[in-house]
Amino acid sequence: MIQTCLQLSIALSLHLGLVGDYNNIHPHARCSIDNTITGVYYNSEDNISAYIGKKYDNIELGIVTGYSGNEIVPMIRYVKDNFFISPAYESNGRYGITIGIEFD
């Protein structure tokens, strides 16, 4: 039997406190081995993002590519069941949050 770490999902998100026009549908492919996470997803800016990080209980920490103005940015996400929340930043200096739900 072949074992794989691959998980396919789709997330739906809302961007609160931000002024930009953002994509709210995010196909996502992830590989989890122990507490190491890697993956790719279609991000809020209509780009492909790749990331690597660690998962500690309900917190995911790492680095991610694919956002405007930066090659690599920090990533932090709180995940509970299928729901998530993450800080967000716009290049105009405005901060907000992204909340969402992810389906496997």
- Average pLDDT per consecutive 10 residues, the chain (104 residues; last block may be shorter): 85 96 97 96 96 97 91 95 95 93 96
Give residue 52's pLDDT: 98
Give residue 70's pLDDT: 77
Give residue 1's pLDDT: 65
Extended strands (E) in the chain: 6-16, 25-33, 36-42, 48-56, 59-64, 73-80, 83-89, 95-103
Q: Would residue 35 be called left, alpha or beta, if left means φ above 0 and alpha means ψ between -120 and 50 degrees?
A: alpha
**Separation of alpha carbons 102 and 104, rounded Å:** 7
Q: What is this structure's pTM?
A: 0.91
